Structure 1
Amino acid sequence: MTRALIVIDVQESFRARPLWEAVSDPKIADKVNRLVRLSRERGDLVVWVLHHEPGSGDVFDPALGQVRLMAELERADGEPLIHKTSHNAFTTTNLQQLLTEHGIRELTVCGIRTEQCVETTTRVAGDLGYRVTFVTDATATDPLAHPDAPADRSVADLLADPRTLPAAEVIRRTEYALAGRFATIATIDRLEAAAAPQA
Structure 2
Amino acid sequence: MATTEHRSALIVIDVQESFRQLPNWPAVSEPEIVGQVNRLVTVARAKGDLVVWILHAEPGSDTPFDPASGHVRPIDGLDPQPGEPVLTKTSHNAFTTTNLEQLLIRHGVRELVVCGIRTEQCCETTTRVGSDLGYPVVFVIDATATHPIEYRDAPAGRPLAEVLADPRTLGTAEIIARTEYALAGRFARIATVAELEKEAVAG
Aligned to 2:38: 33
* AA matched with 1:172: A
Aligned to 1:24: 29
TM-score (normalised: structure 2): 0.96
* AA matched with 1:141: T
Instruction: State the shift of 1:151 in Å.
Output: 2.1
What do residues 123-159 of structure 1 show as CA deviations (whole Å, max 9, x unaligned)? Answer: 0000000000000000000011111211221111110
Aligned to 2:51: 46
Instruction: State the shift of 1:197 in Å.
Output: 4.0
Aligned to 1:65: 70
* AA matched with 2:174: E
Aligned to 1:131: 136
* AA matched with 1:57: D
Q: Which of 136, 155, 159 is the equivalent residue of 1:154?
A: 159
Q: Which of 85, 93, 102 is the equivalent residue of 2:98?
A: 93
Rounded Cα–Cα distance in structure 1 between residues aligned with 2:91 and 2:198: 34
SS at match of 1:17: coil
Matched, 1:193 2:186: no
* AA matched with 1:99: L
Q: Which of 173, 176, 181 is the equivalent residue of 1:176?
A: 181
Output aligned runs, 1:6-21, within 5 Å: 6-21=11-26
* AA matched with 2:178: R
Q: What is the alpha-carbon root mean square deviation over aligned residues?
A: 0.8
Unpaired segments of 5 or more residues in structure 1? Answer: none
Percent identity over paired residues: 65
**Residues matched between the structures, number:** 198
Rounded Cα–Cα distance in structure 2 between residues aligned with 1:74 and 1:28: 14
Rounded Cα–Cα distance in structure 2 between residues aligned with 1:116 and 1:79: 24
What do residues 28-69 of structure 1 show as CA deviations (whole Å, max 9, x unaligned)? Answer: 010000000000001100000000001000010000100000
SS at match of 1:67: coil
Mean alpha-carbon deviation: is it higher for 67-76 or for 145-154? 145-154
Aligned to 2:3: none
Structure 1 residue ranges (4+ consecutive) displaced by more than 4 angstroms after TM superposition: none
SS at match of 1:135: strand
Output aligned runs, 1:92-111, within 5 Å: 92-111=97-116
What do residues 69-123 of structure 1 show as CA deviations (whole Å, max 9, x unaligned)? Answer: 0011011111000000000000000000000000111000000000000000000
Q: Which of 48, 60, 66 is the equivalent residue of 1:55?
A: 60
